[in-house]
Amino acid sequence: MRFFTRIVSLATFAIVLMPISISSQELPQEIDPNQIIAPRILGNQIFQIDLGLLVPLFSYSTTPGLSESESFKPGAGLNVGGSGALRWSAFLDNTFAIGLDLSGRLAAGPNEGVFGSVLVGPRLSSFFRIDNFQIPVSISPGLSILAYKELSYVGFGLRTEAGFFIDATSNWSFGLNLAYTWLPEVYADANPIFSQSRVGNLLEITLSALYSF
Amino acid sequence: MTHPKRVPSHGLLCLCIIFTTIIFLAGCSGQSSGLFYALSIEEPISKKDSGLGKDGATYTDIVRYNSLYILKGSVLYVADVPNTASFPDSGSIGTWKTVSLGARLAVASIATYNNELYATFIGNADALPENNTQVLRKTSFSSLAQAESATWSDVSLSGLETGQIADLLFSANNQLFLQSKKSDSPNSGFKYNLYYLTGATWTKINITSGQGVDSDSFLKVSHDGSNYWLLKSYGLFKNTDLVTDFAVEALAGSETFPALTNMVVSGTSVFVTSSKNRLFFYNATTWSTFTIADAKFIDIEVFSMQDKNPAVVGNQNIVLASTSNKGLFTVTTAPSLTATAFSREAGNYGSTNFYPSSTDLSTNPDIFLANPGGLNSERLPAFALVPGLGLWGAYIKSDPENLISPALIWTWE
């Protein structure tokens, strides 16, 4: 499972960073008269709002010596929940954008407890555009705040995502967003002990609206 | 029109990396359990449609009477003991029925003796003063229907000292005990006596002069096959018979006020809990004392773990209730009781603090444990009675990966 996570992370980094490599080659770009939204230039901005489902995938432990049933928990012990996000980004060119990401998620535990998570941090995005379709691919490392019952944790979180948008007007695009959120909860030694360190892996499927200005 | 492509600032990327690194290193938490870990071990709690109230319901005692459970709240409930051959794999405790109290207002205590159910009641239809209690008994019954409808008959209070009124019942070694109380005027509070039933008369039990505290009520009466044990918060008293005086038992490491809270006898072993973080253990010869910081024990029960798991035949799993937010502790008596064997109960309780999540033991200090099934090979549940959260049954979960410590799984009855 760790191998799978690494592959996902590496693939996301590669997709996000690929346009940087391409852009360094200074490729010329023509305006497509059929595109509803004009190519982005430095200073163009977008605002995005997402709302949808949270699908907990699994949690796992990196502690050696634990049995599989102890170290791997399908569904991370959570039920399907809800997810939402607000994003702002400014374009550096037609492809690459940098901004801020604020996302939150809620899901019920096995009983009445509610799991809550907020992730806030910078956002790096690449926008692939084909006709009037946009395929943004983003990565958002940031500050993760987790809460469940009386338990809480503040640390690092990473969110990688890909979307598919259809341009509806010169400002608005609508589409579907798929996000993979990686939430490590790492302890050094006592209270809680190291063996209780876990990494949560969540999938978010959201409907998204994207405003370009 | 074309827009020149721009290479993103490496400075921005560096800032992102620095920001991320700082956050990663700054991970922090202020509690004793990991969050995803807690979620990984939390198991769904089954909520039975058993006929009992749950949220807001308070029950304070449960006893076994033949093939029936008798549960005490402000009134009495009765249910069938499940078939021990198939429980809990199939079969369950039946629906709870309310036992008619007639015109009486509330039950104060219950006990079984001589194949009859005894109870003390507070108040009756004649609007007697609240402190005018009665002792009544239901004669032998063997079915749910009989238990519901059987009438109560009065038990004489002959033998009680003048001014003493009936208070609480206990039973041990097939003897029935009655604690009586009398207002300690002009001081506030009561003075308590303990009697046992001989025929139709109550006979007073005496404690060696100067060793007992009259204003300290009796908490429990037990018998280990040789000795009777009387528990008060101020001390533990022992005697081989009920006729001669009971003498105080010196507990290892004890002090003037040991704040004793409960006791359980298992074979010839005696376990006594203290709200001063202590468990006293008597192996029929000597006393040992175990201390766990911030674990104000208020109750103890011994759960038989045999039958479900051959690896632990002969072992007895002890569960201790604590008023601190550490909840329940477990310890196994075999091969020997040692302080290092204590661990927090790892069943579904451990991560749920008894459903609902907003409530934990720190706000429910009076959790009671009961094991009316006894310490035989039967696979009957033990119980926890949580004020405001009803009755909980503990079942042994067979865990092939963990043969030594099968977990107790709690179900909301």
pLDDT in tens, A102-136: 999 999 998 778 999 999 999 999 999 888 889 99
Q: Which helix (H) or strand (E) holds A8?
A: helix A2-23
Strands B175-183 and B190-198: antiparallel
| Mutation for B interface: A72, A105, A149, A152, most B CBs within 10 A | A149
Q: A145-149, B352-356, B360-364 — which is least confidently predicted?
A: B360-364
Confidence band, pLDDT 50/70/90 cuts, at residue A151: confident
Confidence band, pLDDT 50/70/90 cuts, at residue B353: low
- How many residues can be counted in chain B? 413
| Closest C-alpha to B155, from B177, B174, B173, B172 | B177
Confidence band, pLDDT 50/70/90 cuts, at residue A79: very high
- What SS3 class is residue A19? helix
How confident is the model at residue A32, as a pLDDT? 66
- Smallest Cα distance from B38 to chain A, Å: 8
- Smallest Cα distance from A50 to chain B, Å: 23
Look at residue A13 and tell me whether its pLDDT is greater than 60.
no
Question: Tens digits of per-residue pLDDT, B182-191?
Answer: 887 777 788 9
| B42 half-sphere exposure, CB direction, 13 A CA radius | 31
How far lies B67's CA from each of B80, B141, B142, B144, in Å? Answer: 6, 10, 7, 9
Q: The dihedral of CA B247, B250, B255, B261: what is its sign?
A: negative
Question: Which residues touch B281 (CB under 8 Å, ≥6 apart)?
Answer: B269, B270, B271, B272, B287, B288, B289, B290, B337
CB count in 10 Å sphere of residue B196: 23
Look at residue A56 and tell me whether its pLDDT is greater than 50.
yes
Confidence band, pLDDT 50/70/90 cuts, at residue B389: confident
pTM, entire model: 0.72
Question: Tens digits of per-residue pLDDT, B201-215?
Answer: 999 999 988 777 888
Look at residue B2 and tell me whether its pLDDT is greater than 60.
no
Give the strand order in the sheet containing B152-154: B106-113, B116-122, B133-138, B152-154
- Of all residues in chain B, what percent carry a pLDDT higher than 90? 18
- Top-ranked range on mean pLDDT: pick from A23-32, A196-205, B32-41: A196-205
Residue B363 token pair: 């706000």
Kindly report whether the peptide bond that precedes residue B82 is cis, defined as omega within 30 degrees of 0. no
How confident is the model at residue B321, as a pLDDT? 76
Residue B250 token pair: 């010196």
How confident is the model at residue B395, as a pLDDT? 72
How confident is the model at residue B5, as a pLDDT? 41
More confident residue, B183 or A87: A87
How far lies A116's CA from each of A43, A57, A154, B100, in Å? Answer: 34, 15, 12, 47
pLDDT mean over B295-303: 79
Question: Which residues touch B107 (CB under 8 Å, ≥6 apart)?
Answer: B72, B73, B74, B75, B76, B101, B119, B120, B121, B122
Look at residue B328 and tell me whether its pLDDT is greater than 80.
no
pLDDT mean over A79-98: 92
Q: A1-10, A62-71, B52-61 — which is least confidently predicted?
A: A1-10
Q: Do B40 and A76 touch (CB under 8 A)?
A: yes
- What SS3 class is residue B361? helix
| ipTM passes above 0.85 | no
Cβ atoms of B377 and B307 within 8 Å: the answer is: yes
Residues of B with CB under 8 A from a CB of A: 1-9, 12-13, 15-16, 19-20, 23-24, 26-45, 352-353, 355-358, 360, 401
